[in-house]
Amino acid sequence: MTMLPVLPILIPLLAAAACLLSWRSVLWQRVASTIGAAGLLGSAVALLVAADRRDIVAVQVGSWSAPFGITLVADRFSAVMVLLAGTMGLLVCLFSLFEATRRDIHRGFFPLLLILLAGVCGAFLTGDLFNLYVWFEVLLIASFVLLGLVGGRANIEGAVKYVALNLVGSMLFLTATGVMYGVTKTLNMADLHGALIEVQSQNPTLVLTLAATFAVAFALKAALFPLFFWLPASYHVPPAAVCAVFAALLTKVGVYALVRVFTLIFPDAEPVLWVILILAAVTMVSGVLGAVTQYEFKRILAWHSISQVGYIVAGVGLLAVPHPNVQALGLAATIVFLVHHGTIKPALFLVAGLVKWREGTTELKQLGGLASATPWLAALFLLAALSLAGLPPSSGFWAKLVVLRALVVAQEWWVLAAALAAGLLTLMSMMKIWNEAFWKDRPTDEAARGLEGDRALTNPHRIPKAFAAPVVALIVLVTAIGLWPQPLLGYADRAAAQLLNPSAYVEAVGAPPRESSTTPGDVSSIILDVEELQR
């Protein structure tokens, strides 16, 4: 029971090791990774139950007590994110049993997928800032290789952009962590709570700079405007299963880190949070405008990911409003939207994967007639697309409703207007995919079917039932959340209340009560450093 927070990291790593040991056998790799992903989901469910019942589950790895050892903590927010990772991990793994080719598997597709899942779960569960950096790097390296795995010019190009921009973000994060240690002499997140209050009274600029550096580093990972350019350049190139797991988890890790840092560590970073709120509004609109100009299935979805990150981060930005009610509503909205987007966007990417399997292309101009050819696929897409656009009764409706409710209560009318406009444009571009790929007649002109990109197949493949099963399961799940939203909404409220009351977190980790540790001399010498780095 006490080892529960270790399992979501350990199980995928063990499964990855098993895959590496059975490197030559495609069958064994498939079996081991499916078992590993299922085990991850099982441990995530157990963790969620434990975290919801007992509030916060904390483990000191190696029994080194709190501020010295590495702490793993699962509060309600962490637990629901791990559950999201587990669910997506299993479904994507099942989908990949068909989609990943023998060549991909021989190049290590399954171990990489499992290491990515372990890294994501580690980032969600760690209670130490430097350890968070390490898990970020673990998941980044796995995602780098997954992105470039298939080869081909587009993949390599996408990978170069993704790698370069994300590494800049990592360096910023590392530098900020170093400065944080210099200021507070600790990196344990529970121990950091309250550590900055005294520093702030002496040197508010330093704390603000530190908060801004963390915000920029995490906003880059979360793909917030104007730091999102790695996302549309790379998300659409890998196979659909990889797209799905990226869309479900990568930006979410950045958002998770933003929430964690700004609820637990920075007591009073209002200016930074206002900037985040404004950027969230700009992100919603710029992402959706990018999507409107696209004519390729997966590129449209990638741009929508950016727009949706705006909705998610708007709730974090509402922490700037100094009113506990608004803050709780904002955080609850963030959590609901994270879960909604973390399930719906992979579903859409997997639908795109099925279309690609059947037709050999995802260029909308080359597609057509899918609604009459495969009515069930059309129905799946329509359910998911309407949920993304936020039409009732779907998970997207509730997610958008709680975000808008928080914005109304906070009286942030401009952000509200941006959210509504972005919602309309989302509906419009979903309808574009529907019209082009599903509703219009299949283009008969040979020239139109193979002008650019991948050439459409003349005789479409049949989609095996087992291949479509994970997609069906995912869309059933999303629809179930839409029809029966109360468990999720209630859980999000409880999780938000817990985030806004960090003393319980500190107590569960067992960090010693704070005493003044930094001398004014220390602080003034550090500030020179910070100014240097910011230049």
Partner 1 sequence: MFLVLAITVGVLFTCGLYLMMRRSLWKLILGLLLLSHGANLAVFVSSGLTRSPAPLVAVGESAPPDGAADPLPQALVLTAIVIGFAVVSFTAVLVRRATHAVASDDPDRMRSTDT
Q: Among residue numbers 115 through 174, which ones bind partner 1 (CB under 8 A)?
A: 130, 133-134, 137, 140-141, 144-145, 148, 152-154, 156-161, 163-164, 167-168, 170-172, 174
Query: Given the complex with partner 1, which of 174 and 500 has the nearer CB atom?
Result: 174
Give 190: exposed, middle or buried? Use CB within 10 Å, 0-12, 13-18, 19+: buried
Rounded CA-CA distance 518/201 in Å is 12
Read off φ and ψ for residue 173, nearest 5 degrees: -60, -45
DSSP-derived secondary structure for 142-191 = HHHHHHHTT-SHHHHHHHHHHHHHHHHHHHHHHHHHHHHHHHHS--BHHH
**Is the omega angle on the peptide bond into residue 226 within 30 degrees of 0, that is, cis?**
yes
> Minimum CB separation from partner 1 for residue 151, in Å?
8
Figure out which of the listed residues 294, 362, 374, 395 binds partner 1, where binding follows CB under 8 A: 294
Query: Given the complex with partner 1, which of 293 and 325 has the nearer CB atom?
Result: 293
Query: Given the complex with partner 1, which of 453 and 490 has the nearer CB atom?
Result: 453
**Is the omega angle on the peptide bond into residue 393 within 30 degrees of 0, that is, cis?**
yes
Binding segment for partner 1 (CB under 8 A), chosen from 52-60, 292-300, 317-325, 371-379, is 292-300
User: Distance of CA 305 to CAs 222, 274, 288, Å?
Assistant: 10, 22, 9
Query: Given the complex with partner 1, which of 76 and 298 has the nearer CB atom?
Result: 298
- Are the CB atoms for 235 and 121 separated by under 8 Å? no
Q: What is the CA radius of gyration of the chain?
A: 23
> Minimum CB separation from partner 1 for residue 185, in Å?
7
Residues in CB range of 287: below 8 A, 6 or more apart:
225, 228, 303, 304, 305, 306, 307, 308, 309, 310, 422
Query: Given the complex with partner 1, which of 177 and 209 has the nearer CB atom?
Result: 177
Query: Given the complex with partner 1, which of 133 and 467 has the nearer CB atom?
Result: 133
Quick check: helix, strand or coil at residue 514? coil
Q: Which two tokens stand for residue 335?
A: 């959590």
Q: Per CB under 8 A, does 20 bind partner 1?
A: no
Which among 131, 269, 261, 259 has a CA at the least distance from the CA of 199?
Answer: 269
Q: Pattern of binders to partner 1 over 236-275, x per CB under 8 A? A: xx--------------------------------------
> Minimum CB separation from partner 1 for residue 173, in Å?
9
Figure out which of the listed residues 22, 31, 52, 181 binds partner 1, where binding follows CB under 8 A: 181
Query: Given the complex with partner 1, which of 133 and 262 has the nearer CB atom?
Result: 133
Rounded CA-CA distance 207/183 in Å is 9
> Minimum CB separation from partner 1 for residue 308, in Å?
18
Q: Pattern of binders to partner 1 over 214-243, x per CB under 8 A? A: ------------------xxx-xx------
Query: Given the complex with partner 1, which of 66 and 402 has the nearer CB atom?
Result: 66
Quick check: helix, strand or coil at residue 296? strand
Q: Per CB under 8 A, does 198 bind partner 1?
A: no
> Minimum CB separation from partner 1 for residue 133, in Å?
8
Figure out which of the listed residues 193, 221, 260, 299 binds partner 1, where binding follows CB under 8 A: 299
In angstroms, the first-to-last Cα distance of the chain is: 48
Give 52: exposed, middle or buried? Use CB within 10 Å, 0-12, 13-18, 19+: middle
> Minimum CB separation from partner 1 for residue 217, in Å?
11
Query: Given the complex with partner 1, which of 111 and 502 has the nearer CB atom?
Result: 111
Which among 392, 421, 395, 275 has a CA at the least distance from the CA of 336?
Answer: 395
Q: Among residue numbers 487 through 526, which ones bind partner 1 (CB under 8 A)?
A: 522, 525-526
Q: Per CB under 8 A, does 182 bind partner 1?
A: yes
Residue numbers of the site for partner 1 (CB under 8 A)? Answer: 130, 133-134, 137, 140-141, 144-145, 148, 152-154, 156-161, 163-164, 167-168, 170-172, 174-175, 177-179, 181-182, 185, 187, 232-234, 236-237, 290, 293-294, 299, 303, 522, 525-526, 528-529, 532-533, 535
